[in-house]
């Protein structure tokens, strides 16, 4: 089921109108969960960091022992061709994906000679600039690499994220602030997280329990270019309760100020406002 409109699907070497079927019931990815995807954005006639997202979906595939079949350069060109179906005024979510088709004699290990590949484009508007987010605590945690493929953007990881969201939404929050297995803050259920205090910005240090996002890296680069210190550190829930400003970052909406974490309240702050300005100025300068 899609969440957007005006869907185009690249499958079997060409673009199709609509949300066409791409996976069979007996495909390894269908019943054993070997599927990966990535998400990029097209807006205002630009697709910032598109190549980085295409490169990451290939890395994610390898992490699940799926053999990638499309190079980053080829994938970028296919997506550019598909985006010709849309106008620059439309905000499009770009989702390349792979899945395994065949397994070995035990059915469990995916085989390298058969890989499914598709790209889905769908119009999903960006959140308005005034959009904010509230966060609650969840009993569910981010796994570690020894028991989950957390080094990939894998579909099989998302049921755990869904449990986090359902739990906190039942208490009136929009998203969850999630701990790793040691109890330190990792991310939200759907995005990376930052906080500001005493003129500096802090974000959880990548420790193998969550993806260090492409948009996250872009924001760190912009902040440091602005002369704002950014510290990747081990952070507790108490650190976030003591923060002056908190914001979430991710591909879907780029940056979203947080106005509450449980009983702690925040105001959308100057760091998030400036970071939003820098991101859109940079995106507008990127060729497509």
* Full DSSP string of 8-29: EEEETTEEEES------TTSHH
Joined tokens for residue 251: 């591909």
Q: Which residue has tokens 């002056």? A: 244
Between these two residues, 287 and 111, which has the higher pLDDT value?
111
- Above 70 in pLDDT, residue 27? yes
pLDDT score at 166: 98
- Above 60 in pLDDT, residue 162? yes
pLDDT bracket for residue 2 (50, 70, 90): low
Residue 123: strand, helix, or coil: strand
How many H-runs (helices) and E-runs (strands) does the chain carry? 7, 15
- Above 80 in pLDDT, residue 231? yes
Residue 282: strand, helix, or coil: helix
Supply the mean pLDDT for the chain.
Answer: 96
CA atoms within 13 A on the CB side of 199: 1
CA distance 219 to 221: 5
CA distance 206 to 159: 22
Q: Which of 29, 21, 19 is nearest to 120 (CA)?
A: 19
- Above 80 in pLDDT, residue 39? yes
- Above 70 in pLDDT, residue 1? no
Q: Which residue has tokens 């690499």? A: 145
State pLDDT tens for residues 185-226. Answer: 999 999 999 999 999 999 999 999 999 999 999 999 999 999
State how beta strands 115-123 and 133-137 pair. unpaired
Burial of 2 (0-12, 13-18, 19+ CB in 10 A): middle
pLDDT score at 242: 98
State pLDDT tens for residues 237-265. Answer: 999 999 999 999 999 999 999 999 999 99
pLDDT bracket for residue 105 (50, 70, 90): confident
What is the set of domains in the chain, with CATH numbers?
5-123 (3.30.470.10), 133-285 (3.20.10.10)
CA distance 14 to 283: 28
DSSP at 154: B
Average pLDDT value for residue range 24-43: 96
DSSP at 174: S
């Amino acid at each position: 089921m899609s969440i957007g409109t005006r869907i185009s699907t690249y499958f079997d070497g060409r673009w199709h109108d609509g949300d066409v079927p791409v996976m069979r019931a007996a495909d390894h990815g269908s019943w054993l969960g070997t599927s990966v995807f990535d998400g990029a954005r097209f807006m205002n006639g630009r697709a910032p960091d598109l190549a980085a997202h295409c490169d990451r979906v290939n890395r994610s595939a390898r992490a699940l022992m799926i053999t990638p079949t499309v190079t980053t350069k080829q994938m970028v060109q296919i997506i550019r061709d598909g985006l010709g179906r849309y106008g620059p005024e439309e905000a499009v979510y770009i989702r390349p994906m792979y899945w395994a088709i065949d397994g070995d004699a035990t059915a469990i290990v995916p085989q390298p000679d058969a890989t499914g590949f598709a790209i889905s484009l769908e119009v999903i508007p960006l959140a308005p600039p005034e959009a904010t987010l509230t966060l609650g605590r969840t009993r569910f945690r981010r796994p570690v690499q020894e028991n989950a493929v957390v080094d990939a953007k894998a579909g099989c990881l998302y049921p755990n994220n869904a449990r986090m969201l359902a739990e906190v939404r039942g208490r009136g929050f929009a998203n969850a602030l999630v701990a790793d297995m040691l109890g330190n803050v990792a991310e939200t259920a759907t995005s990376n997280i930052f906080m500001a205090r005493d003129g500096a910005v802090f974000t959880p240090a990548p420790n193998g329990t969550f993806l260090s996002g492409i948009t996250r890296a872009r924001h760190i680069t912009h902040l440091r270019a602005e002369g704002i210190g950014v510290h990747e550190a081990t952070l507790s829930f108490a650190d976030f309760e003591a923060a002056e400003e908190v914001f979430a970052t991710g591909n879907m909406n780029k940056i979203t100020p947080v106005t509450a974490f449980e009983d702690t309240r925040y105001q959308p702050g100057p760091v998030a406002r400036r970071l939003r300005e820098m991101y859109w100025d940079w995106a507008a300068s990127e060729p497509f």
